[in-house]
Structure 1
Amino acid sequence: MYAIVDIETTGGHASANAITEVAIFVYDGTAVVQEYHTLVNPRMPIPYYVQSLTGITDEMVASAPDFEAVAAEIYDLLQDKIFVAHNVNFDYSFLQYHLGANGFELKCKKLCTVRLGRKIIPGLPSYSLGNLCRSLSIPILQRHRATGDAAATVSLFALLLQRDTQDAIAGALKVGSKEQFLPPNLPPEQVKQLPLSPGVYYFHDQKGEVLYVGKARNIRKRVNSHFTGNNAGPKRQAFLRNIFSISCEITGTELMAGILESVEIKRLWPVYNYAQKHMEFNFGFYCFEDQDGYLRLAIEKKRKYTTPLHVFKLLIEGHQLLRQLIRRFDLCPRLCFLQKGNGACLPLQEHTCHGACEKKESVTIYNQRVQDAINWLQQQQPSFVILGHGRDREEQSCILMEKGRFYGMGYLPREIAVTGSENLKEWLTPYPENEYILGLIRQHAAGKAAGLLEIRSS
């Protein structure tokens, strides 16, 4: 037995909106055996644009029952039925949410006539209810009213039952089938063809633009997890409605998937990725030559398209490290921008500065000490590779950290001997780094130091 449902609401998500009208047609596969319709007082103003769309006004619902008063009757009509609607997750999420708020737990199998229409009658220009019914010559009386749209959905569903020569409806209802949870515009074949490998997946909208990028240890399993449950929140409902296709890129390891996900979020800036989109105000050491030829170390905010000598998250970390370099290599704090003003250089008075700030020390000698400081700084940063599984048995994955900086990653033939970083780079793709990526790699490296993963020094 099927319960074919349509509702009208004050807005697009259940958690902050209310139902204004419900229509339910109980259908046995041949005929409608029971009909139910009611307006519902939402106990909130109906937005003007919704009134214009549906024709349901605040005055019309003023004397209608609250949802609490009709919840038991609606639950009795729906329980033990197959819940059918056009874009079923919308109607189901609203009714499940509001029934739950009144003490009724709705659990039904679901069928979506958008999804079934795409599968059983492919190739139509649009699968919105109005356009689909127009293409199939199904009349709709009172469009955007619950009774009119539900009655049209009954006719549409009867036609789909008649034309279902490939048992698409039975397949969607089969135990273990995930189709009833999938977004209405996403072809189930795309989900079934996803690999069971680590990698990155992309959700695309109708125009092919990337909506969301995610990482996974198992791509197919992770993608399916997005569609389970009936979260009534606005972000999730909009998210599901806008997914039209999925693509993916397999990676050898979960770590590589995490790195690639971060790179792609920064590159594509997808609308539904909220994490990792904050600006990173990291700092770095930069070295430049002044007009007198002296090399000068400076702390500045990390800039795009520049390669600092060393990066750090907090300014105080940079000051502490710079002071250490000044002491260790007798650098001038004025030339390192740690002492300002026109007064005498304090380390010069203490004989730890050799007079470069007053041009008493030659450029060549001072610059050599600056270069020694830079070399020492770089030597303190680890260089290593992380080798792991490849995408197949013929290759191994490789992530290169060079002097504390993430160089890139890629795949090597298994027979390649890793002897140093230079012989690796022809196999690797350079990628931009960020604090999230560095954190992933450092955490992984620390775990390997305890024997969890293989790390080899380059």
Structure 2
Amino acid sequence: MQYAIVDIETTGSYAAASGITEISIQVLDEEGIVMDRFESLVNPVQQIPGYIQALTGISNEMVEQAPLFEAIAAEVYQLLQDRVFVAHSVNFDYSFVKSQLSYCGYELDTHKLCTVRLSRKILPGHASYSLGRLCEALGITHSNKHRAGGDADATVTLFQLLLKNDTEQHILRSLKRTSKEQALPPNVPRSEFEQLPYTPGVYYFHDDKGKIVYVGKAKNIRYRVSSHFSNNSTGRQKQNFMRHVYHISYEECGTELMAAVKESTEIKRLWPRFNASQKRREDLYGIISYEDQNGYLRLGVDKTVRGKVLLNSFHHMEGAKASLRQLVQEYELCPRLCFIGEALYDEKMHRLLCRGACEKREAPDVYNSRVLQAVAQLENLPSFAIVDKGIHHDEKSCILVWKGSFYGMGFIPGDLQIERPEQLREEVTPYRENSTITNMLFAYAKRYPSKIIRFEPANLAESH
């Protein structure tokens, strides 16, 4: 078995949009003796950012006359193919090299070893496993830092030390096809991955300070988390995961639908750094009712704020206005008393609908009776529960939609006899609703009617 110790310098942090500026490869035999060495600057065909020039010392002028990667691709491929690809934080270097080789027509497919993960196992107890800090702690000479050759030299010495001290054969076990060791981010303990269940739920990726940076849902938590790290994606998200994920936690949810609901609420609550979807602010609008100084009940549309009671809720202003316009027409309410603009209801429409309330020609009690009928219709929005399997055999999962909006979810006893809807409100945990969840639940209820318990409006009135 032979090893190829690789280090590269790049123009950015992820391979899909960045280039290689320098590469160093040292080939070692199974005893760790250096057999061959290759090193070259590379023209990345793009500008090197100023901060990277300052870090590496590699300027645009230095790489201007350097070979393009395609000019050295064949030699790089010959050095790497059929050898174990070794690097400090291997997935970063591997993603760049594989991407560049693929562009040139070479498909790299080799075993990988990460000296960060191996060092944590074979040389435990160090405060930091960055290459510089680890070399300093171990007394390894590390000159010409942040250059491919200097970092590769230090990694070679470190790997030789790992080979010498690997009494428990961590290197051999990591090279087995069934091992997930090199697929995981360098800083994630394998024990945290091994504890992940094969059940539906949500999973959380944490950074080095414990802050949640990504939330995901899964039908099978273990498989889904593994899929994040088991491919060689060159995109931004994959590379950011690899560099910033230090811990994984999870919460079982019973069903895939519960996991999807939980994911949506957690994204809105936590606003994780690497979640892209569902991260938008949602204002809630609704129809309000109050009595004016002349005794007439008035309806209008307003944004929800703490302490304000809405007759119903919408995630878009236009939805609330459309509902109000429908009520005005259906119950012949005065458009002016419902704040319907003249642009939508001209004088002809106003004369058709209004019976004179705005001019006090219709008595308040007569007009208000129709307003109360309209309000009653708003309160008769559908309520239902989605009941499915739970985590444990003696329970069921329950997601409750109350008067057209997601109310909450949780687990109920498997033998619970639901005699009144209010029982479920007492059993489930309330959650904050959003349009993603509401749309998801109504679509699910339509698709799987056998899992739905529907409540009649009369039952809901009795439950207050």
Compute the TM-score of the two structures, normalised by the length of structure 2: 0.91
Distance 1:106 1:410 in 2: 48
Q: 1:387 to 1:21 in 2, by over 3 A?
A: same
1:246-261 alignment runs, 5 A limit: 246-261=248-263
Matched, 1:308 2:310: yes
- On the 8 A contact 2:384/2:452 being kept in 1, the answer is no
Q: CA deviation at 1:63?
A: 3.3
1:124-139 alignment runs, 5 A limit: 124-139=126-141
1:7-406 alignment runs, 5 A limit: 7-30=8-31, 31-280=33-282, 283-301=285-303, 308-312=310-314, 317-340=319-342, 353-379=354-380, 381-406=381-406
Q: CA deviation at 1:302?
A: 5.2
Distance 2:57 2:368 in 1: 79
Q: 1:372 is aligned with what amino acid?
A: Q
Percent sequence identity over matched residues? 51
Distance 2:3 2:90 in 1: 13
Distance 1:50 1:161 in 2: 33
Q: Provide the residue aligned with 1:457 in structure 2.
A: 455
Q: 1:277 to 1:288 in 2, by over 3 A?
A: farther
Count of aligned residue pairs for this structure pair: 453
Deviation string for 1:41-72 (max 9, x for gaps)? Answer: 22333333222222223333333322111110
- On the 8 A contact 1:400/1:421 being kept in 2, the answer is no
Q: CA deviation at 1:406?
A: 1.3
Q: Provide the residue aligned with 2:462 in structure 1.
A: none
Distance 1:367 1:274 in 2: 47
Q: CA deviation at 1:254?
A: 0.9
Q: CA deviation at 1:400?
A: 1.1
- On the 8 A contact 1:284/1:310 being kept in 2, the answer is yes
Distance 1:174 1:409 in 2: 43
SS at match of 1:401: strand
Q: 1:431 to 1:274 in 2, by over 3 A?
A: same
Distance 1:197 1:302 in 2: 37
- On the 8 A contact 1:345/1:357 being kept in 2, the answer is no
Distance 1:74 1:401 in 2: 59
Distance 1:355 1:64 in 2: 86
Q: 1:457 is aligned with what amino acid?
A: F
- On the 8 A contact 1:387/1:397 being kept in 2, the answer is yes
Q: 1:152 to 1:316 in 2, by over 3 A?
A: closer
Q: 1:186 to 1:289 in 2, by over 3 A?
A: farther
Distance 2:357 2:131 in 1: 79
Distance 1:305 1:439 in 2: 26
Which runs of 5 or more residues in structure 2 are unaligned?
A: 457-464
Deviation string for 1:167-199 (max 9, x for gaps)? Answer: 222221111212211111111111110111111
Q: CA deviation at 1:430?
A: 0.9
Q: Provide the residue aligned with 2:460 in structure 1.
A: none
- On the 8 A contact 2:229/2:238 being kept in 1, the answer is no
1:399-438 alignment runs, 5 A limit: 399-438=399-438
Distance 1:119 1:362 in 2: 84
Deviation string for 1:355-383 (max 9, x for gaps)? Answer: 4323444544433432221112222x211
Q: 1:75 to 1:325 in 2, by over 3 A?
A: same
Deviation string for 1:193-252 (max 9, x for gaps)? Answer: 011111111111111111011111111111111112222223331232000111111111
Q: CA deviation at 1:155?
A: 1.2
Q: 1:400 is aligned with what amino acid?
A: L
SS at match of 1:180: coil
Q: 1:431 is aligned with what amino acid?
A: Y
Distance 2:299 2:129 in 1: 63
- On the 8 A contact 1:402/1:421 being kept in 2, the answer is no
Q: CA deviation at 1:432?
A: 1.4
Distance 1:82 1:71 in 2: 18
Greater mean deviation of Cα atoms: 311-320 or 150-159: 311-320
Q: 1:327 is aligned with what amino acid?
A: Q
Q: 1:29 is aligned with what amino acid?
A: E
- On the 8 A contact 1:348/1:354 being kept in 2, the answer is no
Which runs of 5 or more residues in structure 1 are unaligned?
A: none
Greater mean deviation of Cα atoms: 330-339 or 409-418: 330-339
- On the 8 A contact 2:335/2:350 being kept in 1, the answer is no
Deviation string for 1:398-424 (max 9, x for gaps)? Answer: 111122121111111112111222111
Q: 1:17 to 1:318 in 2, by over 3 A?
A: closer
Compute the TM-score of the two structures, normalised by the length of structure 1: 0.92
Deviation string for 1:118-140 (max 9, x for gaps)? Answer: 22222211110000111111111
